[in-house]
Structure 1
């Protein structure tokens, strides 16, 4: 089955702005649709929203960061509906046990405290520093677009999405069962979801194509939209084996 519908799943506190720069570079006839998770506080609830809001029975599916995890959960719930899968700057493993997991929770809750006490915009100005290529930290247009995007959402939404991420499921089994054209993509300088992490995902889904975008961090789709769109175009033009 094929479809011109391309469902796009944003990352933590992101919205359609994260994807907008890609649209002029996507194949003609592609119909993008960005999903809003509302107050969903689990990855499964986000995936269920995708399936409810999808405008067509079959669709290509691309998810960035947290959205990649939601995309994998969509495939778990309804694999027959997904014709193509793209996972951008993301991961597949649950929160680690022990000290590593506790440290992740502490870092996320520290940002939540900033959002609650100083406002989401202040939190975003801290968060974004490590989420783009180091050379782009001084790019005021890029940084403002990311910060403003976050500021459109509330601290309550941030809390719900942190809850979802800390309880994220292990999607290793989903990767192992993939048969549709699959793209794994990340920024070469993504320090949060590293190229090595995507290479580990490819080991579980050997047919997946791995594209590493040079001169980009975690927000690759906003940092290097043309390069990301070119990769997505090649992916959309692939057919299932």
Structure 2
């Protein structure tokens, strides 16, 4: 299995494709065993794509200790070193976008261009939905709670009018095939604790690389107004809003091409 020593941990990673190196940092609970994943999408056809399970998740090491956002950023930098990458393009999605902000701040020479996707800066700029406050919700109850938050169009009226798609979303949101693995619950909880303390707001003006802030118009997790604040706070950042909720990256067929164009340095992106 492809493990890398990074920041004192064994991190599970995969790498595929050709083109400019791209580090993809996944969101809350990200596990490369869950399919489809980023390697099944178009980014793997345009880039030398590197993705990994973050500490406490998937097949990566799960130390039972306090996790800080700085740790996640240092993990990412350590993984790049282990993979022979001095720098790379970076895409951070949701929680991964929080990690990507810290990476760009703590290791600025590592990040060539940065796409922050459905994420938040915390602090005065606004935090993403507090997942750490709904830890008591499991399975279907959690899925039903989050569906209208993830996409604000999917309210009770929508669910009643679309019973089959709603049932599919509940089933998808309820699935946790690795829940019984040792350390799984602890690692997930540690991630949410770190996430609850995320705050880069005061430091965002220090990000010097080109940045794209991409959000969904109906996202109740990483709010549209938060995307606007974040983009305005980062010097020279571009803001793009897409049709969809927290998963706009797969809901709006224009999202990936726009992100790819930005990463490739297309001035029209």
TM tier, shorter chain?
0.7 to 0.9
Determine whether 1:49 maps to 2:75.
Answer: yes
Instruction: Give distance in 2, aligned partners of 1:14 and 1:121.
Output: 19
What is the total number of aligned residue pairs between the two structures? 223
After TM superposition, the structure 1 = structure 2 runs for residues 193-212 of structure 1, keeping only pairs within 5 Å, are 193-212=222-241
Structure 2 residue 57 is matched with structure 1 residue 31: no
Pairing partner for 1:13 from 29, 35, 40: 29
1:19 and 1:185 map into 2 onto residues whose CA distance is 21
User: Per-residue deviation at 1:142?
Assistant: 5.5
2:110 is the counterpart of 1:114: no
Alpha-carbon RMSD: 3.2
**Shift in CA distance, 189/24, structure 1 to aligned 2, threshold 3 Å:** same
Equivalent runs, 1:90-101 vs 2, <5 Å: 90-94=119-123
Superposed, which structure 2 residues align to 1:58-97 within 5 Å?
58-94=87-123
On the 8 A contact 2:143/2:170 being kept in 1, the answer is no
Gaps of 5+ in 1: none
- After TM superposition, give the deviation of residue 130 of structure 1 in Å: 1.8
2:206 counterpart residue number? 177
More helix by share: 1
Is the CA contact (8 Å cut-off) linking 1:95 and 1:168 kept in structure 2? Answer: no
Residue 37 of structure 1, CA deviation? 1.6
Cα gap change, 1:94/1:22 in structure 2, threshold over 3 Å: closer, same or farther?
A: farther
Q: Any conservation in 1 of the 2:147–2:169 contact (CA below 8 Å)? A: no
Bigger Cα Rg: 2
Residue 124 of structure 1 and its aligned partner are, at CA, apart by 4.1
Question: Residue 165 of structure 1 aligns with which residue?
Answer: 195
Task: State the secondary structure of the residue aligned to 1:134.
Answer: coil
How far 1:122 moved relative to its partner? 5.1
User: 1 CA distance for matches of 2:194 and 2:49?
Assistant: 25
Conserved 8 A contact 1:181-1:238: no
Cα pair distance change 1:44/1:58, threshold 3 Å: same
Q: CA deviation at 1:171?
A: 3.7
Residue in structure 2 matched with residue 229 of structure 1 by the alignment: 256
Looking at structure 2, the residues matched to 145 and 32 of structure 1 have their Cα atoms a distance apart, in angstroms, of 26
Deviation at 1:4, TM superposition (A): 1.5
Task: List per-residue Cα deviations over 1:107-135 (Å, max 9, x = no partner).
Answer: 633x21234xxxx5653453344213534
